[in-house]
């Protein structure tokens, strides 16, 4: 199985690259942000718990997102692999993911980290906000909050995978196809 964690700050291009990866490698895309937004749109209890936190740029509690991922892994038991996009976002989530995959007799193949500086991220997110309809893309203060959450809670996840020898760093500035081919080099050499 090819199980890739696509890692990087908000606006790094994880969603764009995920789409290309699932097409090329026939993987199941698990984006916790997308799953949470669809829970909100359906008005579920989970969505209601998550909405205010998301709108304010804060992370949703670990147990909620871990439960969501557990359900999705079970629902796609025969998949040939997964792209984890926006998950794990804390070390506790990374540990839980290792456990979940272990019980399914598989593991993370690589963690691909897209690197983009904060100023470029802010510009990309504000631009996306003009069309995405996402409350959390609409103002600079919330965007900065998301980047701060990333730096304090999510960035340590890189060391978690580095300790396992699975951390691969990629420059997230450049053409979409150029970045994609760097990711494919990683995926093809696992
Ligand atoms: P982006 O990467 O552009 O910030 P996402 O769609 O991945 O966008 O996430 C949007 C919001 O959803 C996050 O700011 C957070 O509130 C919530 N979220 C998504 N994934 C997680 C996660 N794994 N753990 C906690 N909160 C999450």
The answer for 26, left when phi > 0, alpha when psi is -120 to 50, beta otherwise, is left
pLDDT digits 0-9 by tens, 1-55: 999 999 999 999 999 999 999 999 999 999 999 999 999 999 999 999 999 999 9
- Element (H or E) spanning 19, and its range? helix 14-25
* C-alpha 130 to ligand 1 mean position (Å): 19
Is residue 177 classed exposed, middle or buried when 0-12, 13-18 and 19+ CB atoms within 10 A define those classes?
exposed
Confidence of residue 176 (pLDDT cuts 50, 70, 90): very high
Number of Cα atoms under 13 Å in the Cβ half of residue 131: 3
pTM given for the model: 0.96
Per-residue pLDDT tens digits for 73-120 = 999 999 999 999 999 999 999 999 999 999 999 999 999 999 999 999
CA of 75 to the centre of ligand 1 (A): 21
Return the ligand 1 atom nearest residue 137 CA.
Answer: 3
Task: Please state the rounded mean pLDDT for residues 65-77.
Answer: 97
Does the annotation count 37 as an active-site position? no
Cα dihedral sign for 40, 76, 132, 94? positive
The answer for 133, left when phi > 0, alpha when psi is -120 to 50, beta otherwise, is left
Which band of pLDDT confidence, cut at 50, 70 and 90, is reported for residue 179?
very high
What domains sit in the chain, N to C, each tagged with a CATH number? 2-116+155-188 (3.40.50.300)
- From first CA to last CA, the distance across the chain in angstroms is 11
Separation CA 96–CA 100 (nearest Å): 6
Please pick, among 134, 145, 153, 166, the residue that the annotation labels catalytic.
Answer: 134
Average pLDDT over residues 153-169: 98
Number of alpha helices (DSSP H) and beta strands (DSSP E) in the chain: 9, 5
CA distance 140 to 137: 8
Report whether 70 contacts 76 (CB < 8 A): no
């Amino acid at each position: 199985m090819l199980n890739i964690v696509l890692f990087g700050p908000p606006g790094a291009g994880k969603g764009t690259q995920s789409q290309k990866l699932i097409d090329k490698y026939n993987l199941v895309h698990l984006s916790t942000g997308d799953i949470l937004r669809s829970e909100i749109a359906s008005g579920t209890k989970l969505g209601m718990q998550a909405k205010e936190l998301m709108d304010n740029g804060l992370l949703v509690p670990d147990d909620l997102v871990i439960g969501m991922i557990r359900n999705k892994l079970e629902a796609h038991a025969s998949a040939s692999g997964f792209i984890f996009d926006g998950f794990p976002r804390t070390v506790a989530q990374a540990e839980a993911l290792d456990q979940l995959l272990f019980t399914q007799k598989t593991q993370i193949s690589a963690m691909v980290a897209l690197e983009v500086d904060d100023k470029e991220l802010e510009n990309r997110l504000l631009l996306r906000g003009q069309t995405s309809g996402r409350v959390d893309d609409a103002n600079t203060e919330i965007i900065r909050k998301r980047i701060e959450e990333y730096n304090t809670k999510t960035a340590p996840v890189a060391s978690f995978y580095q300790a396992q020898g699975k951390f691969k760093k990629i420059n997230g500035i450049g053409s979409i196809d150029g970045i994609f081919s760097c990711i494919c080099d990683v995926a093809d050499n696992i």
